[in-house]
Amino acid sequence: DGSAEAPAPRAKRARKAQLRFQDLPELKDIRTQQAVAELIGVGTPFFRVHDDRAGATTHIDGRTILNFASYNYLGLNGHPEVSAAAKAAIDRYGTSVSASRLVAGERPIHQELEGRIARFIGVEAAVCFVSGHATNVSAIGHLMRQGDLVLYDSLAHNSIVVGATLSGATRRLFPHNDLDALEEMLIAHAHGHARVLVVVEGLYSMDGDFPDLKRLVALRERFGFWLMVDEAHSLGVLGKTGRGIAEEAGVDPNEIDIWMGTLSKTLSGCGGYIAGSAALCDYLKFSAPGFVYSVGMPPPVAGAAIASLDVLEREPERVTKLRAIGQRFVEKAKAAGLDVGASAGFAISPVMVGDSLRAVHLANRLLERGVNALPIIHPAVPERSARLRFFFTSEHEPAHIDEAVAVTADEHAKLAEAGFGIKMAAA
């Protein structure tokens, strides 16, 4: 009964201060950065509100803007057939399944979607999670454990890093797309661990390039590891019919142990999938925390993804068109003297700027001139490789690309002339 001694008033006050969210040191850092940006007249490009659906164009503050900042790669979000499918799913099932699938949330539309994804990719089975990020966290975190080794590309998405961290396995990253370095790591470290997982992406969202899948498959054969490919950005983008990097590389999809992808890009929804063998998918369905202890995918999202696959299978010309648009951007940008880094000209291209503040400034200038492309700045990328990132959609027309390149080259040159380039402190 009150035997625990009350903390001294000063300690109590310090404790209270420590718990105030507005005093979190990390939040103060963010506020300082915002204040500096405000002071030198560089508004923040983040959390800008788009008035409605974003495709090749978007509406911001009532203005029509050329848009290069959406994952709507094949223009399927907002496609009448896709929206109709989402509405039909709501009419039949409601907006939620109101339970984990394991207990009372299983619906025919889940099985239909997973069957369609598996067939599209060319593997046995698939399992869907309600978030793409959670798919990587949950699957990697659950499959790997202490004593195992996870090797991933240095540009791997945060969800891969978080999953590997949570798993308790030893983690090592290899330099971006450097499979010689990966091979050396496998020689040096594979033997000392129980299981080894190698994670790469089908198309890297920062640089717009992709790995040599044939060589990865050969390394898998030689060293014996699970090969996992995150196709968030390559599904619907790579391969003649949009089936992803395996189709692009001419590799049997069954040579890859774990396919991962999202429904938030080409498939016009949100959520993610793991695809591969039936045993892998069963294991995750019965035991992965992010699946078992999470609600089943909302029916309208599943409906939209199925309809997106319908349109994609019926109209592979969307994939061809996206490719032509991406190639045009890369060619025109290079001709205009812009640096597109390693971009292969599929769906994504950076324009290298150099430092963070300059990238933010350039993005703001472009928006003033009717072009929306977002800056990627430190700490998302090293300070010296801050860039603008352009995402393309099959809805873009050649004239959109020409306009974007002309405006970007013009503003880029003006900034260089003005000597604009205040280095942001590398935090």
Q: Is 249 in the site for ligand PMP (CB under 6 A)?
A: no
Rounded CA-CA distance 144/405 in Å is 44
- Binding of residue 177 to ligand PMP (CB under 6 A): no
Q: How many residues line the site for ligand PMP (CB under 6 A)?
A: 14
Q: Does 113 bind ligand PMP (CB under 6 A)?
A: no
Structure tokens at 39: 């002071």
CA gap 365, 359 in Å, rounded: 10
For residue 403, give the amino acid letter.
E
C-beta contacts of 48-53 below 8 A and 24+ residues apart:
53/77, 53/78
- Residue with Cβ nearer ligand PMP (65 or 301): 301
Backbone φ and ψ of 22, nearest 5°: -65, -15
| Of residues 131 and 308, the one with the C-beta less far from ligand PMP | 131
Indicate whether 378 belongs to the interface with ligand PMP (CB under 6 A). no
Nearer to ligand PMP, 174 or 190 (CB): 174
Contact range with ligand PMP by CB under 6 A, out of 24-32, 131-139, 188-196, 392-400: 131-139
CA 297 → CA 88, 110, 120, 292, distances in Å?
15, 7, 19, 12
Residues 135 and 262 sit within 8 Å (Cβ to Cβ): yes
Helix or strand (DSSP H, E) at 258: strand 258-262
The answer to whether 361 contacts ligand PMP (rule: CB under 6 A) is no
Of positions 70, 136, 167, 308, contacts ligand PMP by CB under 6 A: 136
Please identify the residue of the shown chain whose CB is closest to the bound ligand PMP.
132
Q: Decide whether 118 or 260 has the Cβ nearer to ligand PMP.
A: 260
The tokens describing 10, both together, are 């000063």
Phi, psi at 296, each rounded to 5°: -70, 155
Instruction: Pick one of 70, 72, 177, 262: the residue that binds ligand PMP (CB under 6 A).
Output: 262
Stretch that binds ligand PMP, among 31-39, 76-84, 262-270, 408-416 (CB under 6 A): 262-270
Q: Which of the 8 DSSP states describes residue 204?
A: -
Q: Which is nearer to ligand PMP, 230 or 395 (CB)?
A: 230
Q: Please tell me what DSSP assigns to residue 253.
A: G
- Part in contact with ligand PMP (CB under 6 A); list of ranges 129-137, 140-148, 218-226, 405-413: 129-137
Binding mask 141-170 for ligand PMP (x = CB under 6 A): ----------------x-x-----------
CB contact at 8 A, 56 and 64:
no
Q: Which of 207, 230, 247, 411 contacts ligand PMP by CB under 6 A?
A: 230
- Closer CB to ligand PMP, residue 272 or residue 276? 272
**Piece in contact with ligand PMP (CB under 6 A), picked from 4-12, 128-136, 219-227, 333-341:** 128-136
The 179-208 contact track toward ligand PMP, x by CB under 6 A, reads ----------------------x---x---
Instruction: Compute the distance between CA of residue 185 and CA of residue 364 in angstroms, rounded to an integer.
Output: 42
Q: Is 72 in the site for ligand PMP (CB under 6 A)?
A: no
Cβ partners under 8 Å of residue 66, min gap 6: 56, 57, 370, 371, 372, 400, 403, 404
Q: Strand 348-354 vs strand 149-153: parallel, antiparallel, or unpaired?
A: unpaired
Q: Between 157 and 396, name the residue whose CB sits nearer to ligand PMP.
A: 157
Taking a C-beta distance cutoff of 8 angstroms, is the pair 142, 288 a contact? Answer: yes
Can you tell me whether residue 417 is helix, strand or coil?
helix
Q: How many CB atoms lie within 10 A of CB 158?
A: 11
CB of 375 to ligand PMP, least distance (A): 16
Q: Which one, 132 or 375, has the nearer CB to ligand PMP? A: 132
Position among 264, 268, 349, 394 found at the interface with ligand PMP (CB under 6 A): 264
Alpha helices by DSSP H, listed for 55-96, are 80-93
**Residues contributing to the site for ligand PMP (CB under 6 A):** 131-133, 136, 157, 159, 201, 205, 230, 232, 262, 264, 270, 272
